[in-house]
Structure 1
Amino acid sequence: MEQSDSLDIESLKVTQERFVLASQSLHLQRPACDAAACPVGLYGWRKRCLYFFLLLLLVTMIVNLALTVWIIKVMKFSVDGMGGLRLNNDGIRLEGVSEFLLPLYVNEIQSRRDSSLVLRSEKNITLNARNGRGQMTGQLTVGPDAVEAQCQRLAVRSSDGGRLLFTADDGEVIMATEKFTVTGSEGAVFGHSVETPQIRARPSEDLRLESPTRTLSMEAPRGVEVSAAKGPLQVRGRKDLRLESTDGEILLDATSIQLGHLPLGVFTTTAGRASQEQPAYEVCVCPSGKLYLSPAERASTCQAMSSICLWS
């Protein structure tokens, strides 16, 4: 019993001594070390990686700066605009060839005073006009095959903009020029009636009015005048040629009037008495209006009951 108590006391003393030593070691100051003995910073592969990234960043900045300067030089950036584009107080000015990939909305397109305005397209050029609601009121399309205009009224004016030259709408087409010239070898083809005060050919060319499959009719409220100042005047028809005046007369004014291929009538009832070598004939008119020739005598030899008139 006494030995166990002595052992417990000795173990307690040893434990107290260790606790005292441990507490004293905590209050002791560590000896100071100089910079050579205790280095601070990145060393080894970490330092080399940091320098590499800094160098890469510097190279990237230099390349970006060079590309920026090159783009500014190539695109010609300035305070007023870039390249051929200039921003003015009254709008935008483009110099040289410009290409638009999307629709262009403008109020006015004007060229320079010393050059013309040229619009080019690989397919076609379409100009649209819209009202305040966005509805299309007019369209002009210039294509490879035709030029089409869709509008309520198409008008063409002179260079000064004062005189109207051509206008077209749903009801009629008006040409207000003093002279309308057709230079085609086949002339002009009209599917319906044509109203004009005068039709005249050039001085060195012939005037020809022709209807190959239908009739040709010329009408006027105060008369129709057909004249040839120099050269012959020929009127031909496959079937009937009709000259009609409802209130007036038909005047044929010329130095000589020739009516070819008129039938020859017989003065007497006996055909043998009609001379085949008659030097002169007179022109007779049947009640139906048909013309025929009759041998000329001292008196008129025209007969209303002639065989020509009876069988006409």
Structure 2
Amino acid sequence: ITQEQFLLASQALHLQRPGCDAAYPVGLCGWRKRCIYFFLLLLLVTMIVNLALTVWIIKVMNFSVDGMGKLQLDQDGLHLQGVGEFQMPLYVNEIQSRRDSLLVLASEKNVTLNARNGRGHLTGQLTVGPDAVEAQCRRLEVRSRDSGRLLFTADEEEVTMRTEKFRVTGSEGAVFGHSVEAPLIRAKTSEDLRLESPTRTLTMEAPRGVEVSAADGTLRISSRKDLQLQSTEGELLLDANSIQLGSLPLGVYAASPSQALRDQAAAYEVCVCPSGKIYLSPAESVSSCQAVSNICLWS
């Protein structure tokens, strides 16, 4: 085919003559490429630093498959050797120390132990503070260390002590605002026993009897006003080698007081008025006790 025929055919088919296309760059170049390399280098450095810090923390904290440092985890629970600090509430079933060491709970303010039921309601609380130890519960019990015998109980109704001996060593003794029930009140061998009520009445009662005895000393009962010894169903027994009633008044019943003073002898007898008052009367061949004595009339 001649060149003229090819040109005419090309113009008829609207074919373009092949030529060279425009050249486009492939990949990143310039500042973008430098930024990518910089970020990759920064990421690599960060990974290396994190890896180094992780290894350092594992080395310092002594992490292992059994626990962390002095804190070990096993099937029995959590074992901590040394001092542990908890800044948030701790919920456990049991806390105990080693057999050869003590368990110490320390706090800058106070130590509070709470007991809750299944619903989360507070059932008991023990607070050890700088000023006092407070226990809030329905019943407080103190038991012996060896046998677990109950020594002290306290609830809303009563306080019970089950020890064989309760000793008060204070100089002022024990002060009770209300009644006290005890089978025996006894002082030490070398000390005196003193029961007193400075401003009120001192009452001792028992369903079967009250026994007051002083084996090696004297027994003294004094009162600012009246002293009453009463037995509702039995008798009042004063058993001693000698019974002395001091400062008893002398009862006089005569025509004139001067004649009674002249006739009175050195011996007297003890008389009792219908009101129970005791007085002395001059002893005669017959009883000189008279219910109309001046002592009985003015009693």
Structure 2 length as normaliser, TM-score? 0.80
The match for 1:4 is none
Could you tell me how far apart the structure 1 residues matched to 2:218 and 2:291 are? 33
Any unmatched runs of 5+ in structure 1? 1-14, 28-39
Q: Of 172, 192, 216, which residue of structure 2 is paired with 1:186?
A: 172
Could you tell me how far apart the structure 2 residues matched to 1:282 and 1:74 are? 101
Is 1:264 aligned to 2:250, yes or no?
Answer: yes
The match for 2:279 is 292
Asked whether the 8 Å contact 2:253–2:294 carries over to 1, the reply is: no
Is 1:238 aligned to 2:212, yes or no?
Answer: no
Could you tell me how far apart the structure 1 residues matched to 2:145 and 2:67 are? 35
Any unmatched runs of 5+ in structure 2? 1-6
Q: How much has 1:134 moved relative to structure 2? A: 1.9
Q: Note the aligned Cα RMSD (angstroms).
A: 3.6
Is 1:111 aligned to 2:111, yes or no?
Answer: no
The match for 1:308 is 295
The match for 2:149 is 163
Could you tell me how far apart the structure 2 residues matched to 1:25 and 1:149 are? 101
Q: Letter of the aligned partner of 2:298 in structure 1?
A: W
Could you tell me how far apart the structure 1 residues matched to 2:20 and 2:258 are? 175
The match for 2:207 is 221
Could you tell me how far apart the structure 1 residues matched to 2:201 and 2:117 are? 48
Using a 3 Å threshold, how does the CA distance of structure 1 residues 279 and 120 change in structure 2: closer, same or farther? Answer: farther
Q: Of 208, 225, 230, which residue of structure 1 is paired with 2:194?
A: 208
Q: Of 104, 107, 123, which residue of structure 2 is paired with 1:121?
A: 107
Asked whether the 8 Å contact 2:71–2:80 carries over to 1, the reply is: yes
Using a 3 Å threshold, how does the CA distance of structure 1 residues 190 and 56 change in structure 2: closer, same or farther? Answer: same
SS at match of 1:237: coil
The match for 1:152 is 138
Using a 3 Å threshold, how does the CA distance of structure 1 residues 292 and 107 change in structure 2: closer, same or farther? Answer: same
Q: Letter of the aligned partner of 2:161 in structure 1?
A: M
Identity score, percent: 75
Q: How does 1:40-119 map to 2 (within 5 A)?
A: 60-119=46-105
SS at match of 2:89: coil
Using a 3 Å threshold, how does the CA distance of structure 1 residues 84 and 295 change in structure 2: closer, same or farther? Answer: farther
The match for 1:12 is none
Could you tell me how far apart the structure 1 residues matched to 2:295 and 2:246 are? 16
Asked whether the 8 Å contact 2:126–2:136 carries over to 1, the reply is: yes
Q: Which has the larger radius of gyration?
A: 1
Using a 3 Å threshold, how does the CA distance of structure 1 residues 280 and 118 change in structure 2: closer, same or farther? Answer: farther
Count how many residue pairs are aligned between Structure 1 and Structure 2: 289
Using a 3 Å threshold, how does the CA distance of structure 1 residues 43 and 26 change in structure 2: closer, same or farther? Answer: closer
Greater Cα offset, 78-87 or 169-178 = 169-178
